[in-house]
Amino acid sequence: MRFFGRGHGACPGCGLTIAVRNVLEALEGKCFVANPTGCLEIISSQYGKNAWGVPYIHSLFDNVAAVASGISEALKAMGREDEGKVVVFAGDGATADIGLTLHGMFDRNHDVIYICLDNEAYQNTGHQQSALTPLGEATTTTPVGKIMLGKMGRKKDMIAIALAHGSPYVATSSAVLPADIRRKVKKAAGIVGAKYIQIHCPCVTGWGIDGKEVVKVGNLAIETALYPIVEFENGKLLTVRKLKDRKPVEEYLKLQRRFRHLFTNPEGKKIIAEIQRIADANALKYNIDLKK
């Protein structure tokens, strides 16, 4: 708790705080944190209740990649690079929707570790859909109604976008895999350039799960291949978390209020089948299934 924690206001079981603590500990607190508006900012940076034990800046919702790039360049200009790494903690909305400056950071390859804390919607403001909300999820802006059953689009593939920019290190992880987070952050810290790590972070309130179910639900996202855990260096796939007995997506979906309608609405079956197709495609793409 040296680098993050004292006084933060996250919900019990919040995936974000697990991820953040592990990132900061992997870097031994030698880092500068840039954080856009969102859940993490609200729970950690109220004036007088700052929970950060590392230098921290919150500027706006839509500019964190540029702010981090500016810190990184300033440290270079002033010969202070040894002080620490520049790390972004951004939500999925601030990354995949309104994060206008992310492509510039990738393009110029600023020395930044960009961590996307993916809880799959705007949870801070009460669960509105983002570009990383998956198919079928009921949010307050993609509600379940007579003609619509939650989000009808796909989850944006930020991994492909990061790779297309030529990012030297791109990985996914999950708040339920602390050792994996630490290893990947340490690896990223040794690589120069704009790194991207997307960490799946269960959200108890938005997803409609109990705090004690966080690890189970987080693991099921991996075990169904809905959230492949992968790692690329210089565009080359390095590691994939393989599965012996991949589970059907229903096991993951049925535990969460955000997908409950898929099991009660007669049209829900079709959407579950589509979600299963997405999981199957992920498994095929990354060769996730171990041969029996």
Partner 1 sequence: MKKVVRGFYSVAYAVKLCRPNVVCAYPITPQTEIVENLAEMYANGELENCRYITAESEFAAASILVGASAAGARTFTATCSQGLILMSEVLFNAAGMRLPIVVANPNRALSAPLSIWNDLQDSMVLRDAGIIQVYVESNQEAHDMIPQAYKIAEDKRVMLPFMVCLDGFKLTHAHEPVDLLEQSLVDEFLPPYRPEVYLTTKKPVAFGCYAPPNIYMEFRVAMQRAMERAQGVIEKVFREWAEFSRRDWGGHLEIVYPESRNFVIAMGSLVGLLRKVVGELRKEGLSIGLVKLRTFRPFPFEDLRRVLGNAEKIIVIDRSVSLGYEGNLSIELKSALYGLSPEIISMILCLGGRDISKENLEKILRNAVLGKEGSGFKGYIEFEEVVP
- Give the total of residues touching partner 1 (CB under 8 A): 46
Q: Check binding of 157 to partner 1 (CB under 8 A).
A: no
Do strands 169-174 and 112-118 pair parallel, antiparallel, or not at all (unpaired)?
Answer: unpaired
Residue number with CB closer to partner 1 (67 or 229): 67
Q: Check binding of 243 to partner 1 (CB under 8 A).
A: no
Residue 277 CA from chain centroid, whole number? 22
Query: How long a stretch of residues is the chain?
Result: 292
Binds partner 1 by CB under 8 A, chosen from 57, 161, 191, 243: 57
Residue number with CB closer to partner 1 (14 or 220): 14
Q: CB 62 → partner 1: shortest distance, Å?
A: 8
Q: CB 193 → partner 1: shortest distance, Å?
A: 15
Binds partner 1 by CB under 8 A, chosen from 9, 12, 107, 140: 107
Q: CB 65 → partner 1: shortest distance, Å?
A: 8
- Tell me the DSSP string of 150-219: S--SPPP-HHHHHHHTT-SEEEEEETT-HHHHHHHHHHHHTS-SEEEEEEE---HHHHT--GGGHHHHHH
- d(CA 60, CA 220) in angstroms, rounded, equals 34
Tokens of 34: 């840039």
Residue number with CB closer to partner 1 (33 or 116): 33
Residue number with CB closer to partner 1 (47 or 245): 47
The CA R_g of the chain, rounded to the nearest whole Å, is 18
Tokens of 96: 């995949």
Q: Check binding of 77 to partner 1 (CB under 8 A).
A: yes
Q: Check binding of 16 to partner 1 (CB under 8 A).
A: no
The identity of residue 283, as a single letter, is A
Q: Check binding of 81 to partner 1 (CB under 8 A).
A: no
Q: Check binding of 164 to partner 1 (CB under 8 A).
A: no
The helix-helix angle for 178-189 and 15-26 (nearest 10°) equals 40
Q: Check binding of 284 to partner 1 (CB under 8 A).
A: no
Residues 177 and 229: beta-carbon distance below 8 Å: yes
- Residue 258 gets which letter from DSSP? G
Residue number with CB closer to partner 1 (31 or 121): 31
Tokens of 288: 């996730």
Residue number with CB closer to partner 1 (10 or 271): 10
Q: CB 227 → partner 1: shortest distance, Å?
A: 30
Binds partner 1 by CB under 8 A, chosen from 17, 22, 69, 174: 69
Place of tokens 């340490």: 186
Place of tokens 């855990």: 229
Q: CB 107 → partner 1: shortest distance, Å?
A: 7
**Which residue ranges make up the site for partner 1 (CB under 8 A)?**
29-32, 34, 41-42, 45-48, 50, 52-60, 62-63, 66-80, 83-84, 100-101, 103-104, 107-108
